[in-house]
Structure 1
């Protein structure tokens, strides 16, 4: 028996079908987004999300692009997101990983910031960028775990978000801290 599909409700959109290809029931309209709650979340978290990506080794341009793409996806999925702060970091982290490892050449992250204001603390700015340079030398998983740690997450929480064991998180933290300490020790000896 040949089933004929009804025309889609919108251009480019097809109706869901059953296993036999027959038109299925149309899902009800998606839940409405609480725009005020989303807007407050966006304003509070977008800069922190960019910083999170910088800790992971993303350049400023990539970090802002990925943060915006992630926030758009968060808006589209807002009614179903239970822990938006962790959700945005998980999605942004995965998106950055795909972008980074999808490229043949992985470049050193851009460490330039937008123009500094006259009241900016230049010493703090330089220290932050020194830390970013150090983190960029770590392997991917170690940078990822350090970024979550810098963002205030505990190993158990990081394990859940990255879908790895807490032991693997602790091991990555230990290796990252050891590598950073060794680099700082060698840098101190050379000065």
Structure 2
């Protein structure tokens, strides 16, 4: 019998308790997953990546203009797809980011409004519930929402440690285009941060 992906991960390793949640009504969990990976080592590896990468992946999607529910749904969907072919994925961090972004675009296209209420799935705490946006990160998200998507993408990948060359490969851009978009995004963020800190004095 197919189980919810989150339930499968929970049975492999207990997730840490939630600390600060972005979601008032409880996070949605991904659709039912196929019984994969096949080996216990691969399942343990998946569980480790799920716990460690889920919060960062959710914030990555938020940096593309998603709200908390949209970001979590896209991240969960990416992990659900990863579960089905985990043993064939060579670079999980990059793979999950590409797929989560595509899932965000897909779910928005399928909904009449981006604010559609999501179901409250059972299954216990999700690692993404530990996501906490500090003042600086909240400002980053706000400023990024006003920028062109290419600038958001360049910044989001760079912020997560990917080089211009790696980002260019994943976004199908030239490294120079990545650097230009990143420079523009950083300029806007620096201006916004300066205005915020000056206003706080």
**Match of 1:133?**
142
Alpha-carbon spacing, 1:44–1:182, altered in 2? closer, same or farther (3 Å) = closer
Post-superposition CA distance 1:86-114 (Å, at most 9, x none): 1001111222234456778778xxxxx97
Structure 1, gaps ≥5 residues long? 1-29, 108-112
Q: How many angstroms apart in 2 are the aligned matches of 1:75 and 1:31?
A: 7
* Deviation of the 1:132 alpha carbon: 1.3
Count how many residue pairs are aligned between Structure 1 and Structure 2.
Answer: 151
* Deviation of the 1:126 alpha carbon: 2.8
The correspondence for 1:51, drawn from 28, 47, 59, is 59
- Are residues 1:144 and 2:153 paired? yes
- Whether the aligned pair in 1 keeps the contact of 2:37 and 2:86 (CA below 8 Å) is no
Alpha-carbon spacing, 1:162–1:40, altered in 2? closer, same or farther (3 Å) = same
- Are residues 1:79 and 2:87 paired? yes
Q: How many angstroms apart in 1 are the aligned matches of 2:99 and 2:89?
A: 12
- Whether the aligned pair in 1 keeps the contact of 2:155 and 2:185 (CA below 8 Å) is yes
* Deviation of the 1:145 alpha carbon: 1.1
Q: How many angstroms apart in 1 are the aligned matches of 2:81 and 2:66?
A: 19
Q: SS where residue 89 of structure 1 aligns?
A: helix
- Whether the aligned pair in 1 keeps the contact of 2:63 and 2:156 (CA below 8 Å) is yes
TM-score normalised by length of structure 2: 0.63
Structure number with bigger Rg:
1
* Deviation of the 1:186 alpha carbon: 6.0
Q: How many angstroms apart in 2 are the aligned matches of 1:75 and 1:55?
A: 24
Q: How many angstroms apart in 2 are the aligned matches of 1:148 and 1:154?
A: 8
Relative contact order: is structure 1 or structure 2 higher (C-alpha 8 Å, sep ≥ 6)? 2
**Match of 2:165?**
156
Compute the RMSD of aligned alpha carbons. Answer: 3.1
- Whether the aligned pair in 1 keeps the contact of 2:61 and 2:100 (CA below 8 Å) is yes
